[in-house]
């Protein structure tokens, strides 16, 4: 079956760095997405990786290793507004998005 694993919850301190990991086992791979979702709101796009390596976009970076079925989202200089759920999603061979359950990130002052 298809499976995406990410931690259920993480806690970090304002101003620090946090890395949210995602491992996946899917039928085919056409890219991996990271989305941010605040409670009660729709997800917003953060990043898309289809090639191995690190993609940096401001305070957020996303890394992909296709051979390991592994990605991480790195958040730097954490702000209180970064408290949200972070969803990892993989586009499989049929171009269907397979969603992880999300990681709830709690930022403490």
Binding site for other proteins (CB under 8 A): 30-31, 33, 40-45, 48, 50, 87, 91, 95-97, 99-102
Rank residues 17 and 50 by Cβ distance to other proteins and give the closer one. Answer: 50
Are 84 and 30 a contacting pair, CB within 8 Å? Answer: no
Length of the chain: 109
Least distance to other proteins from the beta carbon of 25, Å?
16
Rank residues 33 and 63 by Cβ distance to other proteins and give the closer one. Answer: 33
């Amino acid at each position: 079956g298809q499976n995406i694993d990410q931690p259920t919850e993480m806690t970090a301190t304002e101003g620090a760095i946090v890395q949210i990991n995602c491992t996946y086992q899917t039928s085919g791979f056409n890219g991996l997405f990271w989305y941010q979702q605040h409670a009660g709101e729709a997800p917003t796009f953060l990043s898309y990786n289809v090639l191995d390596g690190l993609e940096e976009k401001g305070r957020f970076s996303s890394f992909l290793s296709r051979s390991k079925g592994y990605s991480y989202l790195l958040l730097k200089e954490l702000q209180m507004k970064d408290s949200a759920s972070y969803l990892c999603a993989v586009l499989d061979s049929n171009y269907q998005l397979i969603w992880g359950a999300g990681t709830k990130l709690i930022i403490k002052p």
